[in-house]
Structure 1
Amino acid sequence: MSENQISTTELTSQYIAQVTSDLERNSKEQERIATDISGLQEQLLALQHDHTVLVNMHQALGGTSPVAGVTPAAPSVPSQSSARTKQSKAAKEVKAAKPKQAAATGAKKAETKKPEARKSAAKAPRTTAQPSLVDLIRGHLEAQKEPRSAAEITTALTAAHPERTIKTTVVRTTLENLVARSSAHRNKQGSSVFYTATTEAPAKAEPTAAAG
């Protein structure tokens, strides 16, 4: 009878170690997926903003049926269901060997680790918020003393923000939108088009000239 107890104790310890290892691996996998989701959400927000700018340009040019944006599905559901499936399988294996203590310990650890993984996933998108492409382009133009082309602006912004995907076509469309709103000037030199930021100096000089 004592040998059976020893064998049961050893088996229980083995299952406890296995379940603990599975839980740690599961938690790390959730953190990795949460990080990937954060990066994808950032790219999605940038694309949605660019889509809004393009829609405004399309309507300003007389378009009537702009392409609608794509609404993504919630990315957190597959990861949670996968985690629940793995945990249910582990629980069945533990019950089959009758190690009740291992099941209780694994359940407690799972309950303590799940909130931590969810908190990290919830905090990630907030820390990665970045200025919009319009703000980046306007700030770049204001910092330049000479006119810049769309290609030059794209190169500068890509070097300053390597984590973002910035295309010349989107930059040119955004610049034209700024010109339409009198937030930038367009200068054509030969076959090339250059842009500069608008300033308030010319507007203030007109009353003085009129008074003279």
Structure 2
Amino acid sequence: MSENASATELTSQYTAQVTADLERNTKEQERVSAEIAALQEQLTSLQRDHTVLVNIQQAIDAVPVPDTTAPPSGSAPVPAPRKKAGRSGTGKGTQPGKKNQPGKKAAAQPAQSAGKPADKPSAGKPSTGKAEVARTAQPTLVDLVRRHLTEQSEPRSAAEIATALGQAHPERAVKTTVIRTTLEGLVAKTQAQRSKQGSSVFYTAADSSRSAATAPSEEQPAPSHA
């Protein structure tokens, strides 16, 4: 009887130990799995932020630098130094008498031919000014996106903004990826605000941009009936 009792007690101890070990192992697996899931989510977020930062850097590098060396559109063309070239070709040393008149004509012809090529660049300058005005008159994509945000009362996603701008400006090739990059550039310059609802990202105009857009309309004087 004593041996049977001892064997039963030993079996009970082993059973309790194995049960405790199994429960501890199960809890440890759950804890490790939760940590792995959290690390995977953190890695995904870091990869998403990296992609956004790369797009912002590419958008900043793609912004054209204004050309300050081009002449203004309203400036008059510079006259060619025709008279100076004529004077240099007919110096005082060519006036000994009337016999040297053929020499005067020969010296005058190179002077005139030297002056003619100088007239061609001056003729092309007005067209360059017109091209400069035509290029600056068209708003950039950044201006269009900023203006669209200031006109909205609710947050808009990049896809919604791309659709609206594509309908308003069919001559432009508006893509959602380009609009998203432009919006991130405005957020980096504190000219727009970004909010996240679930897995979707929405954008609104910054308070300073919205107030600057509405200020001119508030300051317009009422029309006089005089």
User: Which TM class, normalised by the smaller chain length?
Assistant: 0.3 to 0.5
Please report the TM-score for the alignment, with normalisation by the length of structure 1. Answer: 0.38
Please report the TM-score for the alignment, with normalisation by the length of structure 2. Answer: 0.36
Where relative contact order (Cα < 8 A, 6+ residues apart) is larger, the structure is 1
